[in-house]
């Protein structure tokens, strides 16, 4: 089945907003085993929209159009859809009623121009939008089924998942029960993950499990898309594959599905009624900034200290400056972690001291990271070298620190080597 996407709107065409709706839709369709073949971006212009609808209607089996369903004069999707399909626009009484209820429930008055949102091509099939006033709809133009969606991301997402993907799957003839299983890893490069997982899909010989990746440095997301007759079938197929992925990626899996690294750390601390204090230097508050604001962190995150200068660190922790003078080392990180744990009474203290190389902000320089975790049952520390510009080193240091804390809390080796560092 050939699927195309048409994104409309001057804000997207002029680059004023980055087209995240396109990447979201393409990615989500891939997750369900559907592929986009062509993307088009056009502005709020009648002739360009008409040309785009007609071209896609000649080439594709299904077309998703995003944007242009709003109440203002530059929202043209219904009008041009009707023109391309050769039908009239008619007032849809059901949707008008829905909109009036929508405003009434929010104690707001519906303005006259909102009525435009209930003017739909006469042959349109309605696609429900339970959280907005833009009415989604479907109709045929040329040889393709067109699905019209709102530009507001959360309305689009819900409509795509609840209304459009089931219709596309039904049209493609594929089994409509689909499940997406996700693993988040840190410390392995994408090609390394790819290589480690080679052949894992073949544990289910009928081809109903598909493997994919997505990199958000420094994390990699591994995705298993599983198709089946129904959920029990999917779970039966998924079980051996997900067990194998867990076995092969092992300690490098930081979280699964909607979990995050910082959420896993927070939950592990909360589960043991623990608390956390963090000391950081070059990362400048960004380690604390990943965790301290999370819901639930108010009970766990005790204190964070930031300083660029070791003498300031010593002063803030009431340490003898001589103890942390000189070149940074694992021992100094340990001294600092012990001191901050004593000072704050936190069950766990994380100290992350980074020395950035002198020299230009270039890929062939880097930084040395010394980190230590102090807890009641002892102390662990490690040293790591990351090469890259200042921002790269900073991102890497934040992730490494949170991951070492996760490993400590999960009784995994804190010093296991990652692909991102050099000795």
Interface stretch with a second copy, choices 9-17, 198-206, 321-329, 374-382 (CB under 8 A):
9-17
d(CA 111, CA 121): 22
25 makes contact with a second copy (CB under 8 A): yes
Q: What are the distances in angstroms from CA 322 to CA 315, 332, 335, 343?
A: 11, 11, 11, 18
Phi-psi region of 365 (alpha: psi -120 to 50; beta: other; left: phi over 0): beta
Tokens of 226: 């599983």
User: What is the SS3 assignment for 179?
Assistant: strand
Q: For a second copy, which is the closer residue by CB, 348 or 394?
A: 394
Near a second copy by CB under 8 A: residue from 9, 36, 337, 404: 36
* Residue placing its CB nearer to a second copy in the complex, 3 or 245: 3
Smallest distance from a second copy to CB 18, Å: 5
Closer Cβ to a second copy, 22 or 148, answer by number:
22
Minimum distance from residue 37 beta carbon to a second copy (Å): 7
Using CB under 8 A, which residues numbered 207 to 266 contact a second copy?
Answer: 214
Choices 7-15, 93-101, 236-244, 319-327; region in contact with a second copy by CB under 8 A: 7-15
Q: Which helix (H) or strand (E) holds 302?
A: strand 301-306
The residue (of 106 and 247) whose beta carbon lies closer to a second copy is 106
Residues 6+ apart with CB under 8 A from 4: 36, 37, 38, 39, 40, 56, 59, 60, 62, 63, 64, 144
Find the binding residues for a second copy in span 164-203 (CB under 8 A): none
Helices marked H in 133-260: 153-159, 165-172, 190-196, 231-249
Establish if 113 lies at the interface with a second copy (CB under 8 A): no
Residue 27 as a binder of a second copy (CB under 8 A): the answer is yes
Total interface residues for a second copy by CB under 8 A: 63
Q: Does 284 bind a second copy (CB under 8 A)?
A: yes
Q: Is 316 in the site for a second copy (CB under 8 A)?
A: yes
312 binds a second copy (CB under 8 A): yes
Q: Give the largest Cα separation in the chain, rounded.
A: 83
Residue 17 makes contact with a second copy by CB under 8 A: yes
C-beta neighbour count of 387 within 10 angstroms: 17
Q: Which two tokens stand for residue 10?
A: 């001057």
**Tokens representing residue 419 in the block:** 């692909």
CB of 346 to a second copy, least distance (A): 10
- State CA 36 to chain mean position distance: 20
The yes or no reply on residue 158 touching a second copy (CB under 8 A) is no
* Residue whose CB is less far from a second copy, 92 or 129: 129
Q: Is 33 in the site for a second copy (CB under 8 A)?
A: no
Which of 62, 80, 297, 369 touches a second copy by CB under 8 A? 297
Check residue 309 for interaction with a second copy (CB under 8 A).
yes
Cβ-based nearer residue to a second copy, 203 or 307: 307
Pick between residue 81 and residue 306 the one whose CB is nearest to a second copy. 306
Q: Is 32 in the site for a second copy (CB under 8 A)?
A: no
Select from 16-24, 109-117, 154-162, 400-408 the region that touches a second copy (CB under 8 A).
16-24
Q: Residue 82 in contact with residue 122, Cβ under 8 Å?
A: yes
Measured between alpha carbons, how far is 86 from 123 in angstroms, rounded to an integer?
A: 10
Cβ atoms within 10 A of the Cβ of 239, count? 13
Site for a second copy in 350-389 (CB under 8 A): 361
Residue from 275, 285, 297, 296 nearest 409 by CA: 275
Residue 355, CB-side half-sphere exposure with 13 Å CA sphere: 15
Cβ(149)–Cβ(138) below 8 Å: no
Stretch that binds a second copy, among 47-55, 146-154, 234-242, 243-251 (CB under 8 A): 47-55
DSSP at 111: P
Positions in the binding site for a second copy (CB under 8 A): 7, 12-20, 22-28, 30, 35-43, 48, 52, 55, 214, 278, 282-289, 291-293, 295, 297-298, 301-309, 312, 315-316, 343-344, 361, 390, 394
């Amino acid at each position: 089945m050939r699927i195309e996407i048409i994104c409309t709107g001057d804000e997207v065409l002029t680059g004023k907003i980055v087209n995240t709706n396109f990447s979201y839709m393409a990615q989500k369709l891939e997750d369900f085993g559907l592929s986009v073949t062509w993307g088009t971006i056009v502005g709020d212009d009648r002739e360009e929209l008409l040309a785009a609808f007609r071209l896609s209607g000649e080439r594709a089996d299904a077309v998703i159009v995003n944007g242009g369903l709003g109440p203002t004069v530059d929202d043209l999707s219904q009008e041009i859809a009707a023109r391309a399909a050769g039908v009239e626009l008619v007032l849809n009484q059901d949707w008008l009623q829905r909109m009036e209820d929508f405003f009434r429930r929010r104690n707001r008055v519906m303005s006259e121009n909102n009525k435009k949102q209930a003017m739909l091509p006469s042959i349109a099939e309605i696609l429900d939008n339970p959280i907005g006033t833009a009415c989604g709809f479907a109709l045929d133009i040329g040889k393709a089924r067109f699905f019209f969606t709102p530009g507001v991301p959360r309305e689009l997402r819900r409509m795509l998942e609840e209304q459009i993907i089931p219709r596309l799957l039904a049209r493609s003839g594929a089994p409509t029960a689909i499940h997406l299983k996700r693993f988040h890893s840190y410390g392995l490069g994408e090609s390394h993950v790819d290589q480690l997982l080679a052949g894992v899909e073949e544990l289910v010989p009928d081809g109903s499990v598909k493997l994919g990746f997505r990199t958000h440095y420094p994390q990699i997301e591994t995705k298993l898309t599983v198709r089946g007759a129904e959920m029990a079938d999917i779970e039966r197929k998924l079980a051996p594959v997900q067990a194998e992925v867990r076995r092969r990626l092992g300690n490098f899996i930081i979280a699964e599905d909607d979990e995050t690294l910082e959420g896993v750390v927070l939950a592990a601390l909360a589960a043991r009624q623990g608390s956390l204090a963090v000391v950081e230097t070059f990362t400048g508050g960004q380690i604390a900034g990943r965790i301290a604001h999370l819901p639930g962190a108010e009970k766990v995150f005790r204190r964070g200290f930031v300083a660029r200068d070791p003498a300031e660190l010593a002063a803030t922790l009431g340490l003898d400056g001589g103890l942390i003078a000189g070149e940074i080392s694992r021992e100094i990180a340990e001294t600092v972690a012990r001191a901050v744990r004593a000072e704050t009474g936190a069950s766990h203290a994380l100290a992350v001291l980074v020395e950035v190389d002198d020299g230009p902000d270039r890929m062939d320089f880097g930084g040395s990271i010394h980190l230590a975790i102090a807890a009641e049952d002892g102390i662990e520390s490690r040293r790591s070298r990351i090469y890259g510009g200042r921002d790269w080193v900073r991102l890497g240091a934040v992730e490494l620190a949170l991951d070492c804390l996760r490993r400590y809390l999960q009784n995994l080796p804190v010093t296991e080597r990652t692909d991102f560092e050099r000795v």
